[in-house]
Amino acid sequence: MGKVMLEVNNLKTKYVTRFHEDVYAVDGVSLKIEEGKSLGVAGESGCGKSTLALSLMGYYFAPLHYISGDIIVDGRKISGMKPDDVRKNILGNEIAYIPQAAMNALNPTQKIIRFVEDVIHAHDPKMPRKDIYDLAKERFQILGLPEEVLQKHAVELSGGMKQRTVIAISTILSPKVLIADEPSSALDVTSQKMVIKMMRDLMEKGFIKSMIFITHELPLLYNVTDDIMVMYAGQIVEKGTAKEMVFDPLHPYSKGLMGSIIVPEEGVREQKLTAIPGTPPNLKHPPEGCRFADRCPYAQPTCRGMKPEVIELPNGREYRCLMSERKVREVYANA
Amino acid sequence: MRDGKELKPCLSGRGVTKVFGFGDAKTVAVDHVDFDFHEGEFVSIVGESGSGKTTLSKMLLGLISVTEGEIDFQGKPRDISNGKKKKEYWKGIQAIFQDPFASYNMFKRVDSVLLDCINMRGDKNLPKEEKERLMTEACSFVNLKYAELTNKYPFELSGGQMQRLMIARIFLLKPKILLADEPTSMIDACSRATILDMLLKLRDEINMTIIFITHDIGLAYYVSDNVYIMEHGKFVESGPAEEVILHPTAAYTKRLISDVPKIYEPWDLTTV
What span, in angstroms and rounded, lies between the C-alpha atoms of B216 and B226?
15
Nearest-by-Cβ selection for B221 from A193, A217, A268: A268
* Residue A228 contacts residue A239 (beta carbons within 8 Å): yes
Strand ranges in chain A using DSSP code E only, listed in sequence order = 4-16, 22-34, 38-42, 64-73, 76-77, 95-98, 177-181, 210-214, 227-232, 235-241, 310-312, 318-320
pLDDT bin (cut points 50, 70, 90) of residue A38 is very high
pLDDT bin (cut points 50, 70, 90) of residue B11 is very high
Higher-confidence residue of A80 and B104: namely B104
pLDDT bin (cut points 50, 70, 90) of residue B101 is confident
Q: Please state, for a pLDDT cut of 70, what percent of chain A lies above it.
A: 100
- Nearest-neighbour CA in chain B from A328: distance (Å): 22
Q: Do B217 and A222 touch (CB under 8 A)?
A: no
A41 contacts in chain B (CB < 8 Å): none
Q: What is the mean pLDDT of residues A137-166?
A: 92
3-state secondary structure of B37: strand
Q: What is the mean pLDDT of residues A57-81?
A: 89
Q: In the beta sheet, which residues pair with residue A77?
A: A72
Q: What is the pLDDT of residue A281?
A: 86
Q: What is the pLDDT of residues B229-272, one digit of tens each?
A: 999 999 999 999 999 999 999 999 998 888 888 888 888 887 76
Q: What is the pLDDT of residue B67?
A: 92
Give the number of beta-carbon pairs within 8 Å between A and B.
112
Q: What is the pLDDT of residues A265-321, one digit of tens each?
A: 887 888 877 778 777 888 888 888 899 998 898 988 899 988 899 999 998 899 999
Interface membership of B247 toward A (CB under 8 Å): no
* Residue B184 contacts residue B152 (beta carbons within 8 Å): no
CATH of residue A225 = 3.40.50.300
* Residue A335 pLDDT greater than 80, yes or no: no
Q: Which of B145, B260, B271 to mutate to test the interface with A (most CBs of A within 10 A)?
A: B260
E strand or H helix at B177: strand B177-181
A273 contacts in chain B (CB < 8 Å): 193, 196-197, 222
What span, in angstroms and rounded, lies between the C-alpha atoms of A262 and B254?
18
Please name the residue ranges forming H helices in A248-319. Answer: 252-258
B135-160 as b/e: b if 16+ CB within 10 A? bbebbebbebebeebbeeebeebeeb
Q: What is the pLDDT of residues B164-194, one digit of tens each?
A: 999 999 999 999 999 999 888 878 777 788 8
Q: Angle between the A189-204 and B251-258 helix axes, to the nearest 10 degrees?
A: 50
Interface membership of A219 toward B (CB under 8 Å): yes
Higher-confidence residue of A186 and A314: namely A314
Q: What is the pLDDT of residue B239?
A: 93
What span, in angstroms and rounded, lies between the C-alpha atoms of B179 and B93?
7
State the amino acid at position A305 in one-letter form: G
Q: Do A189 and B217 touch (CB under 8 A)?
A: yes
Nearest-by-Cβ selection for A189 from B158, B259, B263: B259
* Residue B1 pLDDT greater than 60, yes or no: no
Domain that holds residue A315: 4-334
Q: Please state, for a pLDDT cut of 70, what percent of chain B lies above it.
A: 98
Q: Which of A34-38, A210-214, A280-284, A288-292 has the lowest mean pLDDT?
A: A280-284
Average pLDDT, chain B: 89
- Nearest-neighbour CA in chain A from B146: distance (Å): 15
Q: Which of A213, A216, A225 is nearest to A276 (CA)?
A: A216
Interface membership of B27 toward A (CB under 8 Å): no
Per DSSP, B48 falls in state -
A275 contacts in chain B (CB < 8 Å): 190-191, 193-194, 197
* Residue A141 pLDDT greater than 90, yes or no: yes
What span, in angstroms and rounded, lies between the C-alpha atoms of B118 and B103?
18
Q: What is the pLDDT of residue B3?
A: 60
Residues 147-186 of B with CB under 8 A from A: 158-159
Q: Count of domains in chain A?
A: 1
Q: What is the pLDDT of residue A249?
A: 92
Q: What is the pLDDT of residue A292?
A: 92
B267 contacts in chain A (CB < 8 Å): 223
Q: What is the pLDDT of residues B26-80, one digit of tens each?
A: 889 999 999 999 999 999 999 888 889 989 999 999 999 999 999 999 888 998 8
pLDDT bin (cut points 50, 70, 90) of residue A171 is very high
Q: Which of A110-124, A202-216, B181-195 has the lowest mean pLDDT?
A: B181-195
Q: What is the pLDDT of residue B266?
A: 82
State the amino acid at position A134 in one-letter form: D
pLDDT bin (cut points 50, 70, 90) of residue A260 is confident
How many CA atoms, within 13 angstroms, populate the side-chain half-sphere of residue A91?
21
Q: What is the pLDDT of residue B45?
A: 94
pLDDT bin (cut points 50, 70, 90) of residue B146 is confident
Name the phi and psi angles at B158, rounded to 5: -80, 165
For chain B, list the domains and their CATH numbers: 9-258 (3.40.50.300)
